[in-house]
C-alpha cells in the first residue's frame, strides 16, 4: 500500500492482550505488515517484534502508564485494537455481582479506558483507527453469558458514539464480532458443548485466530477509510441476520 497522509508507514499500533489467542494473531499480522506494534499485557511471552508494556486494563493508572511507555517507544497510537477480554459464565439466577461486574470491568470498561487514553493524540493527529473486539454473542445472546453478552453489546454503542464524536477528525471506530475461534477461551468449554456449537455454525468449524486478525487488519487499512460504526462478523454465518 503506498504511503499517503492517511497511510503513513509504519504506523504505531496497540493491541491489548497480545500474549495469546486472537490478540497475538492480530499483533503478528501488523508486525508482518511492517508496522510498529505494542501491547498492554499482564504476563507471558510476546510475538517477535512486539513491544510489551505491562498493564491491566481494569486500572486507569496502569493503562495510562502503559500508554506513556508505548508512546515513548513508537509514538502516538494510530491504530488501537481493544482485544483483552474474559468470560465468567454462569446462569442468570446464580450469577454473582462479582461475576457480572468483573466481566464488564475488563471487556467494556477496559476498552473504554484504552479508547479514552488513545483518543486525544488521535484527535491531534487528525486520524486514527479504533477496533473493538466484540463477539457474535453480543447481539445473538447466549445462555450463561448475560454478563459477557452485555459487555460485548456495549462495545457496539461505544463504537457508534465514538464515530459520531470523532468521525469528523478522520477517526474511525468499528466492532469486529468473532464467532467461535480456536483459542484458550473456547478450549476451556466442555467437549460436548464445543461439538454443539460446531453443529450450529453454517461453516461447520471454529475459525483460526488469524482469520479474525485478517479482518482487523483490513478494518485498520486505508481501504476501509470510509467504514465506521460498523459491526463486522467473523463467525462462519452463525449470527447472520442479527
Ligand atoms: P484468551 O482467553 O485466549 O486471551 C484473552 C487475552 O486478554 C489474554 O491476552 C489476557 O491476558 C487478556 N486479558 C484478560 N484480562 C486482562 C486484563 N485485565 N488486562 C489486560 N489483559 C487482559 O481469549 P481470546 O484470544 O479467545 O479472546 C480475545 C478477545 O476475543 C476477547 O475479547 C474475547 O472476548 C473475544 N472473542 C473470543 C472468541 C473466541 O471464540 N475465542 C469469540 C468472540 C470473541 P492474560 O494472558 O494475562 O490473561
pLDDT in 10s for each residue of the chain, 242 residues: 444 555 567 999 999 999 999 999 999 999 999 999 999 999 999 999 999 999 999 999 999 999 999 999 999 999 999 999 999 999 999 999 999 999 999 999 999 999 999 999 999 999 999 999 999 999 999 999 999 999 999 999 999 999 999 999 999 999 999 999 999 989 988 899 899 999 999 999 999 999 999 999 999 999 999 999 999 999 999 999 77
The cell for 192 is 460436548
Distance 163 CA to ligand 1 centre (A): 24
Q: What residue's CA is closest to ligand 1, atom 10?
A: 17
Nearest ligand 1 atom to alpha carbon 134: 44
**137-171 burial, b if ≥16 CB within 10 A, otherwise e?**
bbbbebebbbbbbbbbbbbbebbbebbeebeeebb
Nearest ligand 1 atom to alpha carbon 21: 25
Pocket lining for ligand 1, CB < 6 angstroms: 16-17, 19-23, 40, 42-44, 56-58, 83-86, 106, 110, 133, 135, 178, 180-181, 183-186
Nearest-CA neighbor of 39 among 13, 21, 11, 62? 13
Model ipTM value: 0.99
Q: Which one of 15, 17, 197 would you pick to mutate in the ligand 1 pocket, going by the greatest count of ligand atoms within 8 A of its CB?
A: 17
Distance 24 CA to ligand 1 centre (A): 10
Q: According to the model, what pLDDT value does residue 242 have? A: 74
Q: Which of 41, 148, 197, 226 is flagged as catalytic?
A: 148
Query: 43 with 20: CB under 8 angstroms?
Result: no
Q: According to the model, what pLDDT value does residue 1 have? A: 46
Q: Is the whole-model pTM more than 0.80?
A: yes
Nearest ligand 1 atom to alpha carbon 42: 47
Q: What residue's CA is closest to ligand 1, atom 33?
A: 85
Residues 138, 142, 144: CA angle, nearest 5 degrees: 120
Distance 6 CA to ligand 1 centre (A): 30
Q: According to the model, what pLDDT value does residue 152 have? A: 98
- The question of whether 148 is a catalytic residue gets the answer yes
Nearest ligand 1 atom to alpha carbon 58: 18
Q: What residue's CA is closest to ligand 1, atom 36?
A: 135
Residues 224, 151, 57: CA angle, nearest 5 degrees: 80
Q: What residue's CA is closest to ligand 1, atom 3?
A: 21
Amino acid at each position: 500500500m503506498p504511503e499517503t497522509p492517511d497511510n503513513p508507514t509504519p504506523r504505531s499500533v496497540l493491541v491489548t492482550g497480545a500474549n495469546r489467542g486472537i490478540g497475538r494473531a492480530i499483533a503478528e499480522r501488523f508486525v508482518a505488515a511492517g508496522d510498529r506494534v505494542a501491547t498492554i499485557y499482564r504476563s507471558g511471552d510476546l510475538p517477535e517484534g512486539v513491544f510489551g508494556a505491562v498493564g491491566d486494563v481494569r486500572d486507569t493508572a496502569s493503562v495510562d502508564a502503559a500508554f506513556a511507555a508505548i508512546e515513548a517507544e513508537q509514538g502516538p497510537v494510530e491504530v488501537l485494537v481493544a482485544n483483552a477480554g474474559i468470560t465468567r459464565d454462569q446462569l442468570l439466577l446464580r450469577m454473582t455481582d462479582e461475576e457480572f461486574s468483573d466481566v464488564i470491568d475488563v471487556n467494556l470498561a477496559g476498552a473504554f479506558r484504552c479508547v479514552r487514553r488513545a483518543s486525544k493524540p488521535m484527535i491531534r493527529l487528525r486520524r486514527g483507527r479504533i477496533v473493538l473486539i466484540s463477539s457474535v454473542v453480543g447481539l445473538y445472546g447466549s445462555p450463561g453469558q448475560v454478563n459477557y453478552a452485555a459487555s460485548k453489546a456495549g462495545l457496539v454503542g461505544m463504537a457508534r458514539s465514538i464515530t459520531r464524536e470523532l468521525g469528523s477528525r478522520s477517526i474511525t471506530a468499528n466492532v469486529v464480532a468473532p464467532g467461535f475461534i480456536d483459542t484458550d477461551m473456547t478450549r476451556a468449554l466442555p467437549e460436548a458443548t464445543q461439538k454443539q456449537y460446531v453443529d450450529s455454525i453454517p461453516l461447520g468449524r471454529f475459525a483460526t485466530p488469524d482469520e479474525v486478525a485478517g479482518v482487523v487488519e483490513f478494518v485498520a487499512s486505508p481501504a476501509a477509510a470510509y467504514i465506521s460504526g460498523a459491526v463486522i462478523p467473523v463467525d462462519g454465518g452463525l449470527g447472520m441476520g442479527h
